[in-house]
A and B are shown apart, each in its own frame.
Chain A
Amino acid sequence: MSTSIALAGNPNSGKTTLFNALTGARQHVGNYPGVTVEKKQGFCKTDSGEFDVVDLPGTYSLSAYSLEEVVARDYIVNEKPSMIVNIVDASNLERNLYLSVQFLEMGIPVTIALNMMDVAQKRGIEIDIEKLSILLGVPVVPTVARTGKGKKELLDTIVLRKDLNPEPVHISYGSDIDMALDQMVDIIRSSGFLTQKYRSRWIALKYLENDQQILDLGKNENPRIARELESIAKKLTSHLDVTLNAHPEGIIADHRYGFINSILKQNVITFYQDENRLQLSDNIDKIVTNRFLGPILMVAVIMGLYQFTFTYSELPVGWFENFFSRVSGMADNALADGLLKSLIISGIIDGVGGVLGFVPLIMFMFLGISFLEDTGYLARMSFMLDRVFRMFGLHGSSVMAFIVSGGIAGGCAVPGVMATRTLKSPKERLATILTVPFMNCGAKLPVYALLVAAFFAENEAQVMLLITMISWLGALLVAWLLRSTVIRGASTPFVMELPPYRLPTLKGLLIHTWERTWQYIKKAGTVILGISILLWAMMTFPGLDDQALKIFDTKRNAVTASVSENVLNEIRYADTDNLSEQASSVKERLTNLDMEEAQANLKNSIAGRIGLALEGITQFAGFDWRTNISLVGGFAAKEVVVSTLGTAYSLGEVDPEETQSLSERLKTAEGWGPLTAFSLIIFTIFYAPCFVAVVCIAKETGSWKWAVFSVVFNTTLAFGLSVIFYQVGSLILT
């Protein structure tokens, strides 16, 4: 039988490093049921025994204010692990013990892993471990998680002490609160109120702390007792308000820190240097957050991350593309023309390729961001940018997601949406997730390039800059709009730790990166493949009816009948580059017929019918049915807009990299002009994210509701803006 242990502790205490040291690669990441908080589980087998390890989310406290805290608390109470390993940063003992004390008050089996002993030593901090252990009444084991030091001693201690429920620690909160607590404990004990799960004094404390989760549980359990307890708490609250001008919550926190202080003062901790001197970290901060140098350095880091993610991933992305085009080619040769072939190539292979094509991007992005996060720089970035992003209801940490999504043109919203995981404030995170798809991702660029080349060739650079500015401004304003309407609410406090700079461990970075990437492949992959097939079907079915097909056949026959057998053989077998004049003209006519058929087929497909049906409305934005179909196709990936537009103009599928023929065609096409082009640009910036991004939005927000919202809201917004632009523009120009 393996022993279940849960790792709990402050963020930046080395908790995850210890988890990696214990479990190595034997771990997997999931989510806690119903919430987006990550659940990391692993297995550890050593001479000391076998252990199932859960890495609880890092928290500073055990209140019910943040999702992380609720998750950690619920896990401990409901799953009853045989041992809670509380990781305590020895170089930051006093604040870390604030969480420990709350565990001790719960009366659960706790072992303290006193981590970062090396850092503490370097900072001139000496801790009397034995004394600390006696005074707290729980085992304390010194560890250095980075090197794995103390791991064996820790596991041995766990085996020795597991499942022993110690008596909960009673902290005196001053006579007023203590009296109320005693009174409440009597009521709770005599009625067995919630006591199967919680200790009675702890329940009473939570009532005084006004803990919403426990209050709700209490109301369900026994409304009468709950009311009684609430009234005691209310009476005490108003009494304390009058006599001390304080709230029970505040007094309880004061006394917890007082309790910690009284322990540390008994020569448990000795400082050989000024406690507040963090020389190296402070010196780095003097430069890195400097008023002038800080922002310059930040721009450099952002550019660096961008370069790293999108330039260095080009090579592996290229491998994937080559591989899938080779597979496509094989399928093309092996299968007879027809629906099955089309399904396999355009539906399945392109779909799988689409899923995996993002993998290198996601890996590089997470590697870069984990590095910045683990060194402590990411926290400094939020610190510097918070003032700006707060104005729009976002958070300093939002910047990363915006940049990765294409804040510098050419990113990708898929890793961008996933990059919001470093954001711990739920509302700000949601607003960020919903607005990053407005950035100019790499797939939108061919669309812009096509339109700009056709209609704004003289001012290419300026128009591209204008597009970037519109998308940023739009994203920030929409974020502000969302935060004042559907995701309304006070901003999450910016009470945040700036951890000392640290060099991340390679192992930690690699594990972290791999976990995230695998999660993407596993969870998003299947959905994406499904939608890819669905979109293929929409652009293919119902196909042309026999009569229409017959017309094209007749036309083809007419072409071939007019020439000799020799010419036909030449077309069939000779090298394309060396055709005789007559043969190449016949071939061209045949190809044109194929393209016309493809156009007719597309027009008759479900997507085509949608496009036609919508023409009545979209004409207000200047779009005809051809544009509409290509925009439907763009839901698969934005660059598909270009190739579909090609088909719709009977040019065959246009390679998004080489759009010259299409841009020449558009210049002279009916209904096209700079106004239509820019209206389409505006629409492309704002309309529904590609479905890969939509799936990621669903996974990251934990709900399809927001994914649907982003499709509907963005498309409506895009349409509204395009119509306004087109109508106003038409008025001015005529």
Chain B
Amino acid sequence: MTVINLREMNIDQTGTIVSVGASGELGRRVRDMGLIPGKQIRIQGRAPLNDPVSLRIMGFTLTLRNNEADYIKVEV
């Protein structure tokens, strides 16, 4: 088990969120959508220019920019 940055995850890879470093508005939005430690996520796909990324969490699809994904550490 290794902890990596969400940005580094591959498509279809699953993992569990370890920490969310974002604060302020970004932090709030990220948490409101359920990106909190302990949640399982799966990378769903990437936009044609590789950014943003879409991921599956709690049964729905969420998008994040790569520089926003940087705040999230995932155990894979």
Contact = CB atoms under 8 A, between A and B. Distances in A.
Q: Do A and B come from one complex?
A: yes
A498 B58 contact: no
A278 B32 contact: no
Contacts of B62: 495-498
Contacts of A388: 49
Given A98-B34, A384-B47, A92 B58 contact: yes
A65 B24 CA distance: 9
B33 A95 contact: yes
Nearest to A94: B58
Nearest to B37: A254
B32 A60 contact: yes
Of the listed residues A286, A384, A496, A499, the one surrounded by the most CB atoms of chain B closer than 10 A to its CB is A496
Nearest to A385: B47
A250 B62 CA distance: 19
Contacts of A98: 32, 34
Interface string B1-37: 0000000000000000000100101111111111111
B59 A278 contact: yes
Contacts of A314: none
A497 B56 CA distance: 10
Contacts of B26: 493, 495
Given A249-B27, A249-B31, A495-B68, A92 B59 contact: yes
A249 B36 CA distance: 12
A588 B56 CA distance: 76
A497 to B, nearest CB: 6
B63 to A, nearest CB: 5
A61 B28 contact: yes
B59 A94 contact: yes
A61 B59 contact: no
B13 to A, nearest CB: 13
A291 B48 contact: yes
Interface residues of B, number: 37
Contacts of B51: 386-387
Nearest to A294: B48
B63 A498 contact: yes
A276 B28 CA distance: 24
A247 B49 contact: no
A148 B64 CA distance: 35
Given A493-B29, A494-B68, A497-B33, A289 B45 contact: yes
B69 to A, nearest CB: 10
Interface in B50-64: 50-52, 54, 56, 58-64
Contacts of A92: 58-60
A63 interface: yes
Contacts of B30: 493, 495
Nearest to B42: A276
A254 B36 contact: yes
Contacts of B50: 387
A74 to B, nearest CB: 18
A722 to B, nearest CB: 35
A75 interface: no
B63 A495 contact: yes
A215 to B, nearest CB: 15
Interface string A439-461: 00000000000000000000000
A92 B62 CA distance: 13
A95 B28 contact: no
A285 interface: yes
Interface string A537-576: 0000000000000000000000000000000000000000
Contacts of A247: 23, 27
A63 B61 CA distance: 22
Given A249-B27, A495-B63, A95 B34 contact: yes
B27 A275 contact: no
Contact of B52 (A94, A386, A500): A386
Given A387-B47, A494-B64, A275 B52 contact: no
B57 to A, nearest CB: 8
A65 B23 CA distance: 12
Interface string A230-263: 0000000000000000010110011001000000
Contacts of B36: 250, 253-254, 257
Contacts of B28: 61, 63, 65, 249
Contact of B31 (A253, A281, A295, A494): A253
B48 A295 contact: yes
Nearest to B54: A498
B11 to A, nearest CB: 11
Given A92-B58, A94-B58, A494-B65, A289 B20 contact: no
Contacts of B20: 250
Contact of B33 (A249, A286, A495, A499): A495
Given A247-B27, A276-B56, A493-B25, A60 B48 contact: no
A282 interface: yes
Contacts of A173: none
A91 interface: yes
A401 B54 CA distance: 24
B44 A282 contact: yes
B29 A495 contact: yes
A384 B59 contact: no
A640 B44 CA distance: 52
Given A384-B47, A495-B29, A498-B62, A94 B54 contact: no
Interface in A74-130: 91-92, 94-95, 98, 123
Nearest to A257: B36
Interface in A397-434: none
Contact of B61 (A94, A390, A497): A497
B65 A383 contact: no
Contacts of A95: 33-34, 58, 60
Interface in A290-318: 290-292, 294-295
Contact of B59 (A91, A286, A390, A495): A91
A278 B45 CA distance: 14
B47 A497 contact: no
Interface string A686-707: 0000000000000000000000
Given A65-B28, A383-B47, A384-B48, A493 B65 contact: yes
Nearest to A61: B32
Contacts of A291: 48
A291 B49 CA distance: 8
Nearest to A376: B61
Contacts of B47: 289, 383-384, 386-387
A114 to B, nearest CB: 15
Nearest to A246: B19
Contacts of B60: 92, 95, 497, 499-500
Nearest to B39: A257
Given A254-B31, A383-B63, A497-B63, 8 more contacts: A60-B33, A61-B32, A65-B29, A95-B58, A290-B48, A387-B52, A495-B62, A495-B68
4 interchain residue pairs of minimum CB distance:
A253-B31, A387-B49, A498-B61, A61-B32
5 contacts: A65-B28, A250-B36, A387-B49, A493-B30, A496-B62
Interface of B: 20, 23, 25-39, 42, 44-45, 47-52, 54, 56, 58-65, 68
